[in-house]
Amino acid sequence: MTKSISITNIARNFSEYVNRVAYRGEHFIVLRGKKPVAELRPVPHGNTLAELPELLAALPKLSPEEAEAFTEDLNAAKKELENQNLRDPWDTY
């Protein structure tokens, strides 16, 4: 739940509010008068490389039939690309 706080209150207790955001994940809308002017919230973060094996293990697995169909699709796509006359975008003319 997002809470509204005055700019005066946050200025007087800034470290308290930063700690609440950092450790409790709280969100605050900062008000000047009664008008919202800013938001104080946790910074979104991604996963670490150490979590990759666990993330990969959690992915759904293809059935043997699905894996075979996927392989056939990849091979068909590769064959189609081989027949196209693609230019190297890094080559200059």
> How is the chain split into domains, by residue range?
2-40, 51-82
76-90 average pLDDT score: 84
Q: What is the DSSP string of 52-76?
A: HHHHHHHSPPPPHHHHHHHHHHHHH
- Over residues 17-24, mean pLDDT: 94
- In this structure, are residues 38 and 30 in contact, taking their beta carbons and an 8 Å threshold? yes
Mean pLDDT over the full length of the chain: 91
Residue with tokens 């009664």: 34
Confidence at residue 89, expressed as pLDDT on a 0 to 100 scale: 80
Q: Is CATH 3.20.20 what the domain over 2-40 is classified as, yes or no?
A: no
pLDDT bucket at 93, cuts 50 / 70 / 90: low
Tokens representing 35 are 């008008």
Token pair 């409790």 in the structure block, residue: 24
- Assign 4 a pLDDT band (cuts: 50, 70, 90): very high
For the chain, counts of helices (H) and of strands (E): 4, 3
